[in-house]
Chains A and B, each alone.
Chain A
């Protein structure tokens, strides 16, 4: 398996534009996580899914952020409209279900909003 695949690796966009980040989890994993990493706030869990169903979205910063998982092999994180303070590295991770299982991370999408 190629691991967790995120696209794009880098995204530069203008304030007010819509941004969509994509993630393909590892086949057979039924939990998927979206994290945001910044120098100021560290690694924050935004939302996670079990079996394609959102379980906890309490970390989503505001209504401008939305996430979907239409099937077991694909998830998106959308920001509309984007703002400069959304600039960060966004990571997707997947795991088998279970509290003691390892989460595998993608290489991240570095988002810059100018």
Chain B
């Protein structure tokens, strides 16, 4: 079945460091790919998405590119802030239907 694998955390960075969180997926067909973020005590909220190969999703300085050849959707940010500390989830939605499948989540901690 469809699945998402993302790097284990926690990831601890200093402010202004470069961030990469790896995500790979297994799916039939052409899924849509998402990154969600969860701040403490809150539900998940969409950070960015890409719906077809080579699309780049971006929001709040975060970017991810849909790479079909490597089945990946890695999250990057050039300069993290303390306020980016949260849990980040990679997810896919199958080509047919809209069942969202999530990765395990990666905790990001940014120190000042």
> Are A and B genuine complex partners?
yes
Could you mark each residue 66-105 of chain B with 1 if its beta carbon is under 8 Å from any beta carbon of chain A, else 0? Answer: 0000000000000000000000010001111111111111
Give Cα A97 to B99, complex, Å: 10
Residues of chain A with a CB closer than 8 A to B102's CB: 35, 42-43, 45
Are A99 and B101 also in contact (CB < 8 A) when A91-B43, A105-B44, A108-B43 are? no
Residues of chain B with a CB closer than 8 A to A56's CB: 99
Nearest-neighbour CB distance to chain B for A2, whole angstroms, equals 13
In chain B, what residue has the closest Cβ to A3? B43
Give Cα A100 to B49, complex, Å: 8
Residues of chain A with a CB closer than 8 A to B41's CB: 107
B97 contacts A99, CB within 8 Å? yes
Are A99 and B93 also in contact (CB < 8 A) when A43-B102, A105-B45 are? yes
B99 contacts A48, CB within 8 Å? yes
* SS of A interface (majority): strand
Residues of chain B with a CB closer than 8 A to A99's CB: 31-32, 93-98
Interface residues in chain B, defined as those with a beta carbon under 8 Å from any beta carbon in chain A: 31-32, 34, 41-46, 49, 51, 89, 93-105
Q: Which of chain A's residues 24-47 have a Cβ closer than 8 Å to chain B?
A: 31, 33, 35, 42-43, 45
A45 contacts B43, CB within 8 Å? no
Interface residues on A, range: 20 to 34
What are 28 residue pairs bridging A and B, where the CB atoms are less than 8 Å apart in the complex?
Answer: A31-B98, A33-B100, A42-B104, A45-B99, A45-B100, A45-B101, A50-B97, A55-B97, A56-B99, A91-B44, A93-B44, A93-B100, A97-B98, A99-B32, A99-B94, A99-B95, A99-B96, A99-B97, A100-B32, A100-B49, A100-B93, A101-B98, A102-B46, A103-B44, A104-B46, A105-B44, A108-B42, A108-B43
A107 contacts B105, CB within 8 Å? no
A98 contacts B98, CB within 8 Å? yes
Residues of chain A with a CB closer than 8 A to B99's CB: 45, 48, 55-56
